[in-house]
Amino acid sequence: MSTDGTTGNARARYLAVEISKGGGAWDVAAEEVMLRVAQMTYELGASARAGAAELSILLADDEFVRTLNRKYRHQDKPTNVLSFPQTAVYQNAVDHNLANQNLANQGTDPAAPQFGSVLPLGDIVLAYETLVREAHEQHKTFENHLAHLVAHGVLHLMGYDHEESEEEAEEMEAMERAVLARFDIVDPYAAEHELEDMPTGTDKTK
């Protein structure tokens, strides 16, 4: 697989991923997980009218993410992942492509050029120490937990949401499950419920 996250699929589902480091003990294996999961999430979750896209992932530590979380969400604590979507740009591009496709279907050559060849989705920031701690607490591998959070973050960039309504939350969770299933990763929400349901004092690792 190439370093931009492509998997050899049709150009229409191409996703370029730029990864940069701002802190934390991230390694190459983690970056490979991000590239694969981000690409799969885009392939499964993007509108059928969306074309090639790009996003950036910043690998950070808890202190850096805490600063961003305080500034943009008014919560003075680190969190596992932050997403900064360009939702309006994404939707405008999708609508533009649909209009041009409708003209093409009518045998009319669109007068306006296609939207830029690569659509910017936005940015994702991950906090290393928080991911390590949560993976340990939830008895998951670091890689599997990272995969879940990358899928979660990319879906936010594409307009999915889990805070507006229960229906939207269920739709987003279903898409996360679909992405993770492609990598043989168990349903993360089912695993969380199992841990919550276990009686106090039970060895949750068995």
Q: pLDDT, tens digit, for every residue of 122-173?
A: 999 999 999 999 999 999 999 999 999 999 999 999 989 887 788 989 999 9
Lowest mean pLDDT among 52-66, 74-88, 123-137: 74-88
- Angle, helices 142-157 vs 128-137, to 10°: value is 120
Residue 206 has pLDDT above 50, yes or no: no
Pairwise CA distance, residues 166 & 33, whole Å: 29
- Residue percentage of the chain with pLDDT more than 70: 70
Domain ranges of the chain: 11-95+116-197
Q: Which residue has the higher pLDDT, 119 or 10?
A: 119
pTM comes to 0.77
> In degrees rounded to 5, what are phi and psi of residue 124?
-125, 140
SS3 33: helix
Domain 11-95+116-197 falls in which CATH fold?
A: Collagenase (Catalytic Domain) (3.40.390)
- Residue percentage of the chain with pLDDT more than 90: 58
* pLDDT at residue 106, as a whole number: 47
The number of CA neighbours under 13 Å toward the Cβ of 180 is 23
Q: Identity (one letter) of the amino acid at 169?
A: A
